[in-house]
C-alpha cells in the first residue's frame, strides 16, 4: 500500500500564515464535505491511496493540518471500509496530521443525492453555462436524507463539545440548519465553492426557500467573490421574510445572524513552487516536454471533464487558430488533460463524447503525419505530476464558461516557468485577481484564437514580467491567507455571539453562551480583540 501521504513533504512553509492560526477558543474543528480528501482503492495489485481531482480537498488539507481537526466525508473508495473503526474513523492517520471520519451513504442514495440533485440540479443552476437544471422530487428527497445523515454523523462526532463545524459546498446546503437543530452549541461556518447566481436564475428551483433556510443555519457563510455574496443577499431578500443588513453583509432570521463574506480561495503557493524546483521534478518536466512537444511550443489545459470548463469552446478556438494562422501549424502542440468526472451524469458522458469528436475533427483537419494539433489525456493524473506538466508548458489555457474561482490558474502561476503565459477566461473568479493573464472570452471563437496567437508571439521580457507579477499576487494571497481570514472571521463571530450574552434580552431568556463564556472567558475586553477581517473581504 502507498504511504498514506508524504507528510514530511507537506510540512508547512515557514512563511505561511497557517503558522499563525490560533486555537478557536478551545473549540474542536470539524470539516464536512461530500468529497473525501483520499480514498482507499483496491485493484489487482493491492490497495492504493488515491486523491480526487478536487481543488476543494487539496485546498482544505493545509487547514486540517494546521488545526489538527476531524474531516467528515462520504466514502468513495472500494476498500474504504477496510481501513476504518466501527464509527467510520480512518485508522493510523498520524502521518497526515488530521482525522478522517468516513460516512458510508447507501449507493442508491448517493446516486440521487450526488448524481441527481447536486450535479444535475444545483450545479447547472448555479453555473450559468446554458445547461438546463433538472429538478426531480426523488433527487430532492435524497438530498434532504443525505444531508440528514451527514448531520447525524456531525452530531455524533462532536457530542456536547463546543466545536467549530466548517461545511463545504453546494452538496450540503441543508446541513447547517440541521446541525444547529441537533447541536445548538456548535459554531457553524460554510464555504460555497461555486458561483451563486442572480435571483432570477435561482428562482426556478422549486426548493429554493428550503435551501436558503438551510444555509441561514450558518453563523458565517463564505463565497469566493463579493459579487456572489451580493447575489446571495439579493436572493434571500427576494425569497424570504428576513432582515438583510446591507452594510454589515448580514442576514437576521429568527433572531440569529448569518454573516456573509468573500474569501477568495487560493493554493499552497510555497509548497508547489518549492516542489517543482526539485531536481527530480525538473527532470520529469523536461521529459514531458521532450515526449510531447519535441522542439515545439507546449500549450496545456487541465480540468475535470465538465461542460462548465469550456473544453469544446477551446477546441473550437484551436481549430480556428490554425484556420486563421496556418503558419503556426507544427510549431505548437496542445495537450489537454481532462480527468473523467461525474460519469454517472448523462450530460457528462455526452460531453466527453462530444469532446472526443471535436478533437478528432481538428486533428483530421489540421494534423500532419508527424504532428497532431491536440493530444488528449482523459485520465486521472496526480496533483504533483500535474505540477510537472505546468513546469513543462509554455502556456496554460483556462477556458471556463463560468467558474467560482478556478485553482488551476493559480497552481500554474505557482508551478509554471518564469516565462510562461496564462490564458484565462474572463468568466472565472480568478480573473478578478490575476490581472496580468491574457484574458479570453471562450464564447468569442475568433477573438479567442487571435488572443492565443498573440500570446504565443509575446516577447520574452513581457512574458517574464507578467509572470513575476502574477507570482507575487498568488504568493501574497495563498491558501494560508484564505484559512487565516476564515478562521479569523469565525473567531469574530464567536465574540459576537458572546457579546449577545450581555444583552438584557438574552439574559432574560437564560441563553447560555458558547464555549469560552461557559468556561469563564468571554470578557468584553477580549471580545474587542480581533480587528476586522482583511480589508475588502466583507
Least distance between ligand F6P and beta carbon 214 (Å)? 16
> What is the C-alpha separation between 172 and 176, in angstroms, rounded?
8
Least distance between ligand F6P and beta carbon 63 (Å)? 15
Least distance between ligand F6P and beta carbon 31 (Å)? 12
> Which helix or strand (DSSP H or E) is residue 87 part of?
none
> Which helix or strand (DSSP H or E) is residue 422 part of?
strand 421-425
Least distance between ligand F6P and beta carbon 167 (Å)? 11
Least distance between ligand F6P and beta carbon 56 (Å)? 4
Q: Which of 55, 97, 214, 480 binds ligand F6P (CB under 6 A)?
A: 55
Least distance between ligand F6P and beta carbon 30 (Å)? 17
56 contacts ligand F6P (rule: CB under 6 A):
yes
Cβ proximity to ligand F6P, 193 vs 314, nearer residue: 193
Query: In the range 152-191, which residues lie near ligand F6P by CB under 6 A?
Result: 169
Q: Which of 180, 193, 275, 366 binds ligand F6P (CB under 6 A)?
A: 193
Cβ proximity to ligand F6P, 190 vs 341, nearer residue: 341
Cβ proximity to ligand F6P, 20 vs 346, nearer residue: 346
> What is the C-alpha separation between 173 and 211, in angstroms, rounded?
6
In Å, the largest CA–CA distance within the chain is 83
Query: In the range 286-315, which residues lie near ligand F6P by CB under 6 A?
Result: none
CB-based contact 276:388 (threshold 8 Å): yes
CB-based contact 388:285 (threshold 8 Å): yes
Least distance between ligand F6P and beta carbon 121 (Å)? 13
Cβ proximity to ligand F6P, 55 vs 77, nearer residue: 55
Pairing of strands 395-398, 421-425: parallel
Least distance between ligand F6P and beta carbon 53 (Å)? 6
194 contacts ligand F6P (rule: CB under 6 A):
yes
Cβ proximity to ligand F6P, 194 vs 221, nearer residue: 194
Q: Which segment (24-32, 50-58, 81-89, 98-106) binds ligand F6P by CB under 6 A?
A: 50-58
Least distance between ligand F6P and beta carbon 512 (Å)? 34
How far is CA 50 from each of CA 37, 79, 348, 504, rounded to the nearest angstrom? 9, 11, 22, 54
Residue 422's Cβ-side half-sphere holds a number of Cα atoms within 13 Å equal to 36
Least distance between ligand F6P and beta carbon 143 (Å)? 14
What is the total count of residues that contact ligand F6P (CB under 6 A)? 10
How far is CA 307 from each of CA 57, 130, 334, 402, 521, rounded to the nearest angstrom? 21, 10, 19, 10, 51
- What does R_g of the chain's alpha carbons equal in angstroms? 24
> What is the C-alpha separation between 195 and 293, in angstroms, rounded?
36
Q: Which segment (54-62, 344-352, 378-386, 521-529) binds ligand F6P by CB under 6 A?
A: 54-62
> What is the C-alpha separation between 382 and 345, in angstroms, rounded?
23
Query: For the window 235-264, what string marks contact with ligand F6P as x by the rule CB under 6 A?
Result: ------------------------------
Cβ proximity to ligand F6P, 126 vs 421, nearer residue: 126
Pairing of strands 297-304, 256-262: unpaired
Query: In the range 342-371, which residues lie near ligand F6P by CB under 6 A?
Result: 342
> What is the C-alpha separation between 55 and 60, in angstroms, rounded?
9
Please give the angle made by the CA atoms of 199, 151 and 82, to the nearest 5 degrees. Answer: 125
Q: What crossing angle do the helices spanning 311-324 and 445-456 adopt, rounded to 10°? A: 70
Distance between terminal CA atoms of the chain?
A: 45
> What is the C-alpha separation between 111 and 105, in angstroms, rounded?
10
Q: Which segment (53-61, 426-434, 479-487, 529-537) binds ligand F6P by CB under 6 A?
A: 53-61
Task: List residues near ligand F6P by CB under 6 A.
Answer: 35, 52, 54-56, 169, 193-194, 341-342
Amino acid at each position: 500500500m502507498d504511504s498514506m501521504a508524504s507528510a514530511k513533504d507537506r510540512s508547512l512553509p515557514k512563511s505561511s500564515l497557517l503558522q499563525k492560526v490560533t486555537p478557536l477558543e478551545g473549540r474542536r474543528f470539524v470539516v464536512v464535505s461530500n468529497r473525501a480528501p483520499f480514498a482507499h482503492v483496491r485493484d489487482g495489485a493491492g490497495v492504493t491511496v488515491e486523491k480526487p481531482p478536487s481543488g476543494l480537498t487539496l485546498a482544505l488539507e493545509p487547514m486540517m493540518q494546521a488545526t489538527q481537526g476531524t474531516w467528515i466525508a462520504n466514502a468513495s473508495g472500494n476498500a474504504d471500509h477496510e481501513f476504518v473503526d466501527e464509527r467510520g474513523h480512518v485508522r493510523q492517520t498520524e502521518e497526515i496530521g488530521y482525522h478522517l471520519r468516513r460516512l458510508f451513504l447507501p449507493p442508491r442514495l448517493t446516486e440521487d443525492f450526488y448524481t441527481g440533485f447536486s450535479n444535475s440540479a444545483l450545479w447547472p443552476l448555479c453555473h450559468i453555462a446554458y445547461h438546463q437544471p433538472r429538478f426531480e422530487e426523488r433527487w430532492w428527497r435524497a438530498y434532504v436524507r443525505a444531508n440528514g445523515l451527514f448531520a447525524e454523523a456531525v452530531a455524533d462526532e462532536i457530542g456536547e463539545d463546543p466545536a467549530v463545524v466548517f461545511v463545504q459546498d453546494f452538496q450540503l446546503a441543508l446541513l447547517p440548519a440541521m446541525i444547529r437543530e441537533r447541536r445548538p452549541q456548535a459554531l457553524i461556518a460554510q464555504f460555497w465553492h461555486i458561483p451563486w447566481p442572480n435571483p432570477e436564475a435561482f428562482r426556478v428551483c422549486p426548493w429554493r426557500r428550503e435551501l436558503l433556510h438551510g444555509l441561514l443555519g450558518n453563523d458565517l457563510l463564505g463565497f469566493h467573490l463579493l459579487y456572489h455574496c451580493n447575489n446571495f443577499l439579493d436572493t434571500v431578500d427576494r425569497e424570504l421574510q428576513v432582515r438583510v443588513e446591507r452594510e454589515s453583509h448580514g442576514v437576521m432570521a429568527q433572531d440569529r445572524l448569518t454573516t456573509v463574506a468573500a474569501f477568495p480561495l487560493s493554493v499552497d503557493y510555497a509548497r508547489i513552487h518549492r516542489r517543482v524546483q526539485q531536481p527530480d521534478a525538473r527532470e520529469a518536466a523536461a521529459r514531458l516536454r521532450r515526449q510531447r512537444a519535441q522542439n515545439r511550443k507546449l500549450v496545456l489545459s487541465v480540468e475535470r471533464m465538465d461542460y462548465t470548463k469550456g473544453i469544446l469552446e477551446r477546441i473550437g478556438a484551436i481549430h480556428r487558430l490554425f484556420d486563421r494562422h496556418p503558419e503556426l501549424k507544427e510549431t505548437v502542440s496542445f495537450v489537454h488533460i481532462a480527468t473523467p468526472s461525474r460519469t454517472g451524469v448523462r450530460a457528462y458522458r455526452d460531453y466527453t463524447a462530444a469532446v472526443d469528436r471535436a478533437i478528432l475533427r481538428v486533428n483530421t483537419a489540421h494534423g500532419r503525419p508527424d504532428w497532431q494539433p491536440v493530444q488528449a489525456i482523459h485520465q486521472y493524473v496526480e496533483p504533483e505530476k500535474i505540477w510537472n506538466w505546468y513546469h513543462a508548458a509554455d502556456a496554460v489555457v483556462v477556458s471556463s464558461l463560468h467558474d467560482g474561482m478556478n485553482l488551476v490558474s493559480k497552481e500554474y502561476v505557482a508551478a509554471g516557468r518564469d516565462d510562461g503565459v496564462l490564458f484565462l477566461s474572463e468568466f472565472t473568479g480568478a480573473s478578478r485577481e490575476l490581472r496580468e493573464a491574457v484574458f479570453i472570452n471562450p464564447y468569442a471563437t475568433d477573438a479567442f484564437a487571435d488572443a492565443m496567437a498573440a500570446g504565443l508571439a509575446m516577447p520574452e521580457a513581457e512574458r517574464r514580467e507578467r509572470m513575476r507579477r502574477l507570482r507575487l499576487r498568488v504568493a501574497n494571497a495563498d491558501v494560508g491567507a484564505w484559512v487565516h481570514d476564515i478562521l479569523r472571521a469565525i473567531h469574530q463571530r464567536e465574540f459576537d455571539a458572546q457579546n449577545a450574552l450581555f444583552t438584557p434580552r438574552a439574559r432574560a431568556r437564560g441563553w447560555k453562551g458558547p464555549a469560552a463564556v461557559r468556561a469563564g472567558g468571554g470578557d468584553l475586553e477580549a471580545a474587542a480583540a480581533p480587528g476586522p477581517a482583511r480589508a475588502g473581504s466583507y
